[in-house]
Amino acid sequence: MMATQKTQRLRGELRLDEPMERHTSWRAGGPARRLYIPADLDDLCLFLQQQAQDEPLLWVGLGSNLLVRDGGFPGTVLLMLGALTELEWLDTQLLRVGAGVTCAKVARTASRAGLTGVEFLAGIPGTMGGALAMNAGAFGGETWQHIVAVETVDRCGQRHVRTPDEYRVGYRSVQGAPDEWFVAGHLLLEKGEPKQAQERIRALLAQRGASQPVQQYSCGSVFRNPPGDHAARLIEVCGLKGRTLGGAQVSEKHANFIVNTGNATAADIETLLLQVQGTVEQQQGVRLETEVCIVGEPAGQAA
Protein backbone atom coordinates (compact mmCIF):
# COMPACT_ATOMS: atom_id res chain seq x y z
CA MET A 1 0.00 0.00 0.00
CA MET A 2 2.84 2.36 0.82
CA ALA A 3 4.40 1.83 -2.61
CA THR A 4 1.08 2.61 -4.31
CA GLN A 5 0.71 5.85 -2.36
CA LYS A 6 4.25 6.91 -3.32
CA THR A 7 3.65 6.16 -6.99
CA GLN A 8 0.47 8.26 -6.97
CA ARG A 9 2.44 11.25 -5.73
CA LEU A 10 4.61 11.32 -8.84
CA ARG A 11 3.49 14.01 -11.27
CA GLY A 12 5.80 13.35 -14.20
CA GLU A 13 5.33 11.19 -17.29
CA LEU A 14 6.60 7.61 -17.46
CA ARG A 15 6.97 5.91 -20.84
CA LEU A 16 7.90 2.27 -21.49
CA ASP A 17 10.00 1.04 -24.42
CA GLU A 18 10.44 4.61 -25.63
CA PRO A 19 12.31 4.87 -28.98
CA MET A 20 15.43 6.93 -28.31
CA GLU A 21 15.66 8.02 -31.93
CA ARG A 22 13.00 10.55 -30.89
CA HIS A 23 15.31 12.02 -28.26
CA THR A 24 18.74 12.10 -29.92
CA SER A 25 19.94 14.58 -32.51
CA TRP A 26 21.27 11.72 -34.67
CA ARG A 27 17.67 10.42 -34.94
CA ALA A 28 18.92 6.86 -34.50
CA GLY A 29 18.98 4.25 -31.76
CA GLY A 30 16.90 1.65 -29.97
CA PRO A 31 14.34 1.98 -27.16
CA ALA A 32 14.84 2.82 -23.51
CA ARG A 33 13.26 0.30 -21.17
CA ARG A 34 11.76 3.27 -19.28
CA LEU A 35 11.82 7.02 -19.84
CA TYR A 36 10.69 9.52 -17.21
CA ILE A 37 9.98 13.22 -17.73
CA PRO A 38 9.80 14.83 -14.27
CA ALA A 39 7.27 17.56 -13.58
CA ASP A 40 9.86 19.60 -11.66
CA LEU A 41 12.85 19.19 -9.37
CA ASP A 42 10.77 17.97 -6.41
CA ASP A 43 9.18 15.34 -8.61
CA LEU A 44 12.59 14.26 -9.94
CA CYS A 45 13.92 13.82 -6.41
CA LEU A 46 10.88 11.77 -5.44
CA PHE A 47 11.27 9.56 -8.50
CA LEU A 48 14.94 8.92 -7.71
CA GLN A 49 14.09 8.01 -4.11
CA GLN A 50 11.89 5.20 -5.43
CA GLN A 51 14.48 3.61 -7.72
CA ALA A 52 16.65 0.60 -7.00
CA GLN A 53 20.23 1.57 -6.27
CA ASP A 54 21.49 -0.54 -9.18
CA GLU A 55 19.02 0.83 -11.74
CA PRO A 56 20.98 2.13 -14.77
CA LEU A 57 20.23 5.84 -15.20
CA LEU A 58 20.83 7.96 -18.29
CA TRP A 59 20.28 11.71 -18.15
CA VAL A 60 19.30 13.27 -21.47
CA GLY A 61 18.66 16.83 -22.60
CA LEU A 62 18.54 17.47 -26.35
CA GLY A 63 20.44 14.23 -26.95
CA SER A 64 23.00 16.08 -29.05
CA ASN A 65 26.03 14.29 -27.64
CA LEU A 66 24.52 10.82 -27.42
CA LEU A 67 24.34 7.58 -29.39
CA VAL A 68 22.04 4.84 -28.10
CA ARG A 69 22.84 1.49 -29.71
CA ASP A 70 20.12 -0.26 -31.70
CA GLY A 71 19.35 -2.78 -28.95
CA GLY A 72 18.34 0.08 -26.69
CA PHE A 73 19.15 1.23 -23.16
CA PRO A 74 18.41 -1.36 -20.42
CA GLY A 75 17.47 1.12 -17.72
CA THR A 76 15.76 4.44 -17.11
CA VAL A 77 16.27 7.58 -19.16
CA LEU A 78 15.60 10.84 -17.29
CA LEU A 79 14.61 13.45 -19.86
CA MET A 80 15.38 17.00 -18.79
CA LEU A 81 14.13 18.68 -21.96
CA GLY A 82 10.67 19.94 -21.07
CA ALA A 83 11.55 19.72 -17.37
CA LEU A 84 13.83 21.80 -15.14
CA THR A 85 13.37 24.73 -17.50
CA GLU A 86 13.53 27.57 -14.98
CA LEU A 87 15.56 30.73 -15.57
CA GLU A 88 15.91 32.92 -12.48
CA TRP A 89 17.92 36.05 -11.81
CA LEU A 90 19.58 35.67 -8.40
CA ASP A 91 21.26 39.06 -8.75
CA THR A 92 21.69 41.62 -11.51
CA GLN A 93 24.53 39.57 -13.07
CA LEU A 94 23.86 36.12 -11.60
CA LEU A 95 21.57 33.79 -13.55
CA ARG A 96 20.31 30.44 -12.27
CA VAL A 97 19.66 28.07 -15.17
CA GLY A 98 17.83 24.74 -14.91
CA ALA A 99 19.41 21.69 -16.53
CA GLY A 100 16.63 21.45 -19.13
CA VAL A 101 17.08 24.98 -20.52
CA THR A 102 18.61 25.02 -23.99
CA CYS A 103 22.00 26.67 -24.33
CA ALA A 104 20.63 28.92 -27.06
CA LYS A 105 17.96 30.28 -24.70
CA VAL A 106 20.61 31.08 -22.08
CA ALA A 107 22.57 33.10 -24.64
CA ARG A 108 19.46 35.00 -25.75
CA THR A 109 18.30 35.69 -22.19
CA ALA A 110 21.68 37.11 -21.19
CA SER A 111 22.04 39.25 -24.30
CA ARG A 112 18.58 40.81 -23.86
CA ALA A 113 19.55 41.75 -20.30
CA GLY A 114 22.68 43.48 -21.59
CA LEU A 115 24.99 40.83 -20.17
CA THR A 116 27.78 39.17 -22.09
CA GLY A 117 30.23 36.28 -21.98
CA VAL A 118 27.95 33.41 -22.94
CA GLU A 119 27.13 34.31 -26.54
CA PHE A 120 29.02 31.17 -27.59
CA LEU A 121 26.24 29.07 -26.03
CA ALA A 122 23.99 30.06 -28.94
CA GLY A 123 26.02 27.72 -31.13
CA ILE A 124 25.76 24.68 -28.85
CA PRO A 125 22.81 22.38 -29.69
CA GLY A 126 22.26 21.12 -26.15
CA THR A 127 20.88 21.93 -22.72
CA MET A 128 22.58 23.45 -19.69
CA GLY A 129 22.74 20.04 -17.99
CA GLY A 130 24.80 18.64 -20.84
CA ALA A 131 26.91 21.80 -21.07
CA LEU A 132 27.77 21.48 -17.38
CA ALA A 133 28.51 17.76 -17.64
CA MET A 134 31.06 18.12 -20.44
CA ASN A 135 32.18 21.76 -20.13
CA ALA A 136 30.70 22.45 -23.53
CA GLY A 137 32.34 25.18 -25.54
CA ALA A 138 32.49 26.88 -28.91
CA PHE A 139 34.17 29.84 -30.56
CA GLY A 140 36.69 30.21 -27.74
CA GLY A 141 34.23 30.11 -24.83
CA GLU A 142 33.60 27.35 -22.30
CA THR A 143 30.69 26.82 -19.91
CA TRP A 144 32.61 26.53 -16.66
CA GLN A 145 34.38 29.86 -17.22
CA HIS A 146 31.15 31.44 -15.99
CA ILE A 147 30.02 29.00 -13.28
CA VAL A 148 30.11 30.09 -9.64
CA ALA A 149 27.93 27.29 -8.26
CA VAL A 150 26.05 24.21 -9.40
CA GLU A 151 23.10 22.34 -7.99
CA THR A 152 23.12 18.55 -8.16
CA VAL A 153 20.97 15.62 -7.14
CA ASP A 154 22.29 12.21 -6.16
CA ARG A 155 20.94 8.72 -6.75
CA CYS A 156 18.96 8.89 -3.50
CA GLY A 157 17.20 12.08 -4.57
CA GLN A 158 19.17 14.31 -2.19
CA ARG A 159 20.10 17.80 -3.40
CA HIS A 160 23.50 19.45 -3.11
CA VAL A 161 24.99 22.85 -3.92
CA ARG A 162 28.63 22.73 -4.96
CA THR A 163 31.31 25.17 -6.07
CA PRO A 164 33.71 24.85 -9.01
CA ASP A 165 36.66 24.01 -6.74
CA GLU A 166 34.92 20.70 -5.98
CA TYR A 167 35.36 19.63 -9.61
CA ARG A 168 38.22 18.87 -11.96
CA VAL A 169 37.29 20.83 -15.06
CA GLY A 170 39.17 20.50 -18.33
CA TYR A 171 38.64 20.54 -22.07
CA ARG A 172 35.26 18.84 -22.63
CA SER A 173 35.71 17.12 -19.28
CA VAL A 174 34.20 17.55 -15.80
CA GLN A 175 34.90 15.21 -12.89
CA GLY A 176 33.19 15.52 -9.53
CA ALA A 177 31.24 13.57 -6.96
CA PRO A 178 30.19 10.15 -8.32
CA ASP A 179 26.51 9.40 -8.84
CA GLU A 180 25.51 13.06 -8.81
CA TRP A 181 23.91 14.85 -11.72
CA PHE A 182 23.56 18.53 -12.51
CA VAL A 183 20.10 20.05 -12.12
CA ALA A 184 21.06 23.75 -12.33
CA GLY A 185 24.00 26.08 -12.79
CA HIS A 186 24.64 29.61 -11.49
CA LEU A 187 26.29 31.76 -14.17
CA LEU A 188 28.06 35.02 -13.38
CA LEU A 189 27.84 37.29 -16.41
CA GLU A 190 29.52 40.50 -17.50
CA LYS A 191 27.87 43.85 -18.16
CA GLY A 192 27.64 44.88 -21.78
CA GLU A 193 25.38 46.29 -24.47
CA PRO A 194 22.34 44.25 -25.60
CA LYS A 195 22.78 45.17 -29.27
CA GLN A 196 26.44 44.17 -29.33
CA ALA A 197 25.72 40.87 -27.60
CA GLN A 198 22.88 40.09 -29.99
CA GLU A 199 25.02 41.01 -33.00
CA ARG A 200 27.73 38.66 -31.75
CA ILE A 201 25.17 35.85 -31.42
CA ARG A 202 24.01 36.44 -35.00
CA ALA A 203 27.60 36.40 -36.23
CA LEU A 204 28.40 33.17 -34.37
CA LEU A 205 25.28 31.47 -35.72
CA ALA A 206 26.15 32.59 -39.25
CA GLN A 207 29.67 31.21 -38.80
CA ARG A 208 28.26 27.92 -37.50
CA GLY A 209 25.84 27.64 -40.41
CA ALA A 210 28.62 28.29 -42.93
CA SER A 211 31.03 25.73 -41.48
CA GLN A 212 28.85 22.96 -40.00
CA PRO A 213 26.11 20.68 -41.42
CA VAL A 214 23.35 22.23 -39.31
CA GLN A 215 20.61 21.10 -41.71
CA GLN A 216 21.46 17.40 -41.22
CA TYR A 217 21.09 15.06 -38.27
CA SER A 218 24.33 14.85 -36.30
CA CYS A 219 25.62 14.89 -32.72
CA GLY A 220 27.82 17.92 -33.23
CA SER A 221 31.57 17.31 -33.04
CA VAL A 222 32.33 13.59 -32.76
CA PHE A 223 35.93 13.83 -31.54
CA ARG A 224 37.80 16.11 -29.15
CA ASN A 225 40.50 18.22 -30.73
CA PRO A 226 43.92 16.78 -29.80
CA PRO A 227 46.41 19.22 -28.25
CA GLY A 228 47.69 21.65 -30.84
CA ASP A 229 45.62 20.23 -33.67
CA HIS A 230 42.09 19.78 -34.97
CA ALA A 231 40.27 16.49 -35.34
CA ALA A 232 38.65 17.68 -38.58
CA ARG A 233 42.04 18.37 -40.17
CA LEU A 234 43.37 14.93 -39.26
CA ILE A 235 40.25 13.22 -40.61
CA GLU A 236 40.36 15.22 -43.82
CA VAL A 237 44.04 14.55 -44.57
CA CYS A 238 43.27 10.84 -44.27
CA GLY A 239 40.82 11.22 -47.15
CA LEU A 240 37.82 10.35 -45.01
CA LYS A 241 35.65 13.37 -45.74
CA GLY A 242 32.48 12.09 -47.40
CA ARG A 243 33.10 8.44 -46.41
CA THR A 244 29.80 6.59 -46.06
CA LEU A 245 28.65 3.43 -44.35
CA GLY A 246 24.99 2.53 -44.63
CA GLY A 247 23.08 5.69 -43.86
CA ALA A 248 25.98 7.36 -42.02
CA GLN A 249 28.44 9.74 -43.62
CA VAL A 250 31.48 11.75 -42.61
CA SER A 251 30.17 15.22 -43.40
CA GLU A 252 31.40 16.78 -46.60
CA LYS A 253 31.05 20.18 -44.92
CA HIS A 254 32.95 19.47 -41.67
CA ALA A 255 34.99 16.29 -41.26
CA ASN A 256 34.49 16.10 -37.47
CA PHE A 257 30.75 15.55 -37.98
CA ILE A 258 29.10 12.24 -38.82
CA VAL A 259 25.65 12.81 -40.27
CA ASN A 260 22.60 10.61 -40.65
CA THR A 261 21.67 10.93 -44.32
CA GLY A 262 18.20 9.62 -43.58
CA ASN A 263 18.19 5.96 -42.66
CA ALA A 264 21.31 5.39 -40.57
CA THR A 265 21.24 2.86 -37.76
CA ALA A 266 23.20 3.44 -34.60
CA ALA A 267 25.44 0.57 -35.75
CA ASP A 268 26.17 2.42 -39.03
CA ILE A 269 27.20 5.51 -37.07
CA GLU A 270 29.31 3.69 -34.48
CA THR A 271 31.07 1.53 -37.07
CA LEU A 272 31.93 4.57 -39.20
CA LEU A 273 33.16 6.39 -36.09
CA LEU A 274 35.46 3.48 -35.25
CA GLN A 275 36.71 3.33 -38.83
CA VAL A 276 37.60 7.02 -38.73
CA GLN A 277 39.30 6.63 -35.36
CA GLY A 278 41.33 3.63 -36.53
CA THR A 279 42.38 5.19 -39.84
CA VAL A 280 43.56 8.43 -38.22
CA GLU A 281 45.56 6.49 -35.63
CA GLN A 282 47.13 4.28 -38.30
CA GLN A 283 47.99 7.07 -40.74
CA GLN A 284 48.64 10.01 -38.41
CA GLY A 285 49.66 8.32 -35.15
CA VAL A 286 46.98 10.19 -33.20
CA ARG A 287 44.27 8.43 -31.20
CA LEU A 288 41.19 10.65 -31.44
CA GLU A 289 39.09 10.67 -28.28
CA THR A 290 35.32 10.83 -28.67
CA GLU A 291 33.14 13.62 -27.36
CA VAL A 292 29.98 11.61 -27.96
CA CYS A 293 28.63 9.27 -25.27
CA ILE A 294 27.78 5.78 -26.59
CA VAL A 295 25.44 3.66 -24.46
CA GLY A 296 23.15 0.65 -24.66
CA GLU A 297 23.13 -2.77 -26.26
CA PRO A 298 23.81 -3.84 -29.85
CA ALA A 299 20.90 -4.89 -32.04
CA GLY A 300 19.52 -8.30 -31.17
CA GLN A 301 20.01 -7.75 -27.44
CA ALA A 302 16.76 -6.52 -25.95
CA ALA A 303 16.91 -3.52 -23.68
Which tens digits make up the pLDDT trace of 210-243? Answer: 999 999 999 999 999 999 999 999 999 999 999 9
Quick check: is 252 catalytic?
A: no
Q: Per residue in 176-213, pLDDT tens?
A: 988 999 999 999 999 998 899 999 999 999 999 999 99
Predicted confidence at residue 178, as pLDDT, reads 87
User: 173 an active-site residue?
Assistant: no
- The answer regarding whether domain 231-295 maps to CATH 3.90.78.10 reads yes
What is the structure's pLDDT at 116? 93
User: pLDDT for 92-118, tens place per residue?
Assistant: 999 999 999 999 999 999 999 999 999
pLDDT band for position 302 (cuts 50, 70, 90):
low
Q: Which of 18, 21, 151, 291 is catalytic?
A: 291
What is the mean pLDDT of the segment spanning 138-147?
Answer: 92
Is a pLDDT exceeding 90 seen at residue 301?
Answer: no
Local confidence band at 5 (pLDDT 50, 70, 90 cut-offs): very low
Confidence band, pLDDT 50/70/90 cuts, at residue 300: confident
Domain with CATH 3.90.78.10 in the chain: 231-295
* Res. 273 pLDDT band, cuts 50 70 90: very high
State residue 236's pLDDT score. Answer: 98
HEC-encoded secondary structure of the chain: CHHHHHHHHCCCEEEEEEEHHHCCCCCCCCEEEEEEECCCHHHHHHHHHCCCCCCCEEEECCCCCEEECCCEEEEEEEECCCCCCCEEECCCCEEEEECCCEHHHHHHHHHHCCEECCHHHHHCCCEHHHHHHHCCEECCEEHHHHEEEEEEEECCCCEEEECHHHCEEECCEEECCCCEEEEEEEEECEECCHHHHHHHHHHHHHHHHHHCCCCCECCCCCECCCCCCCHHHHHHHCCCCCCEECCEEECCCCCCCEEECCCCCHHHHHHHHHHHHHHHHHHHCCCCCECCEEECECCCCCC
For the chain, where do the domains classified as CATH 3.30.43.10 start and end?
2-79
pLDDT of 1 over the 60 cut: no
**Residue limits of CATH 3.30.465.10 in the chain:** 87-211
pLDDT tens by residue, 67-93: 999 999 999 999 998 899 999 999 999
Is 221 a residue of the active site? Answer: yes
How confident is the model over 6-48, as pLDDT tens digits? 455 899 999 999 999 999 999 999 999 999 999 999 999 999 9
The dotted CATH code for 2-79 is 3.30.43.10
64, 111, 221, 251: the active-site residue = 221
Mean pLDDT along residues 261-279: 98
CATH class of 87-211: alpha beta
**Catalytic pick among 172, 200, 218, 270:** 172
pLDDT of the residue at 3: 42
Whether 186 and 107 have beta carbons less than 8 Å apart is answered as no
